[in-house]
Structure 1
């Protein structure tokens, strides 16, 4: 299972992250490595990487 990250933690890798909310799990965020994760848009507690984005 991929690692999970909380809002406010530093984003380890650029990619598309999914909220683990119980409301269907269709809450997504595209994040860039370095800044912190945004607040969760639902009742979930963590973000998890679904797809890495291209990095140069």
Structure 2
């Protein structure tokens, strides 16, 4: 999994970690667990996908 991969809300989280939306304002974050689904983006956020910011642990 590459840091530049993007995931849509409702897709399965590939790796546990902190994800950020792609709105470019760096203020919408989500801590997600591998195997769960990505949450909807926050209300009012102009972004459309989540991207990995920091892995929870090394695999």
- TM bucket, shorter chain: 0.7 to 0.9
Distance in 1, matches of 2:57 and 2:26, equals: 24
Any unmatched runs of 5+ in structure 2?
Answer: none
C-alpha RMSD over aligned residues: 1.8
Aligned pair count reads 55
Structure 1 runs of 4+ aligned residues shifted over 4 Å read none
Residue 43 (structure 1) aligns with: 46
1:54 Cα offset (Å): 2.1
Tell me the TM-score normalized by structure 2: 0.83
